[in-house]
Amino acid sequence: MITDPLFYAAAIPAVLIAGISKGGFGSGLALVAVPLMALIIPVPMAAAIMLPVLMSIDFINIWVYRNDFSRADLKLLLPGGAVGTLVGWFGFQFMTEDGTRLMVGLIAILFTLDHWLPLRPKADGARPPGWPGLIWGTLGGFTSFFAHAGSPPVQVYLLPRGLTKRAYVGTFAVFFWAVNIMKFPAYWELGQFTPEVLWTALVLVPLVPIGMRIGLWGQARLSDGIFFGVCYFFLFLTGIKLTWDGISGMLG
């Protein structure tokens, strides 16, 4: 088990943020956990520690939102997520984390700017078609494999779908519950789960319910309009963070 106090100074807030954002807002802010931990330990190790933590969040979410998710959207997202995870697994040795972060970050920024600004004509009140869920699910599964950065593509698909806030978070939760389960044997086969990693993850897991409780408390007190406004804002911040990390890594 990791015993460095500096690691826990970064890991404890990282896990709390992950619980708050995924449990209450279905947002991509949870991906800051890996960069925070990576201040002290290598990125692959941080990603491996976070996977069991994220899986514990997923299992609680499945219970909390067991009656609140969109089956129609999951029928498109989940097959795409499976394909994306397999591509990430087999392409792991050829892809760079920085390139993946930059790609996802730019997608998140452009999507939120398109929502906020008149970048193109929009059909008022029109629900976008569902078929792009296959594409965004594939991209979500693929990018989730690297540093757990799969949230923004799924948010890009789900946010305009007109779901209630609980159905939005529930659909998000079911998708990543399935994707993270699919990632586990891949991480194992790649040798990511050392005893040190697994024991450290076990120590951090008890923080998960605390963060999720805070997230659910906030969700219950926000109107739908404010809730989705917060989600778009978090997505934009996530995009900036990923883009910065991607560019800094490629230049450094």
User: What's the rounded mean pLDDT across residues 6-31?
Assistant: 82
User: What's the rounded mean pLDDT across residues 192-220?
Assistant: 91
Is the pLDDT score of 102 beyond 90? no
- Write down the pLDDT at residue 131: 78
Q: What angle do CA 7, 12, 15 make, to 5 degrees?
A: 120
Is the pLDDT score of 69 beyond 50? yes
d(CA 33, CA 67): 28
- Comparing 91-105, 167-181, 203-217, the range with the smallest average pLDDT is 91-105
Give the mean pLDDT of the chain.
Answer: 84
Q: Which of 172, 151, 165 is nearest to 73 (CA)?
A: 172
What is the pTM for the complete model shown? 0.78
Q: Which of 179, 244, 238 is nearest to 30 (CA)?
A: 238
Task: Give the model's confidence band at 29: pLDDT under 50 very low, under 70 low, under 90 confident, else very high.
Answer: low
Contact between residue 37 and residue 185 where contact means Cβ atoms under 8 Å apart: no
Is the pLDDT score of 125 beyond 50? no
User: What's the rounded mean pLDDT across residues 227-232?
Assistant: 76
Please indicate whether residue 34 or residue 147 has the higher confidence score (pLDDT): 34
pLDDT in tens, 32-63: 777 778 778 887 788 899 999 999 998 898 89
- Write down the pLDDT at residue 123: 47
Is the pLDDT score of 153 beyond 60? yes
Full 3-state SS string of the chain: CCCCHHHHHHHHHHHHHHHHHHHHHCCHHHHHHHHHHCCCCCHHHHHHHHHHHHHHHHHHHHHHCCCCCCHHHHHHHHHHHHHHHHHHHHCCCCCCHHHHHHHHHHHHHHHHHHHHCCCCCCCCCCCCCCCHHHHHHHHHHHHHCCCCCCHHHHHHHHHHHCCCHHHHHHHHHHHHHHHHHHHHHHHHHCCCCCHHHHHHHHHHHHHHHHHHHHHHHHHHCCCHHHHHHHHHHHHHHHHHHHHHHHHHHHHC
- Write down the pLDDT at residue 165: 85
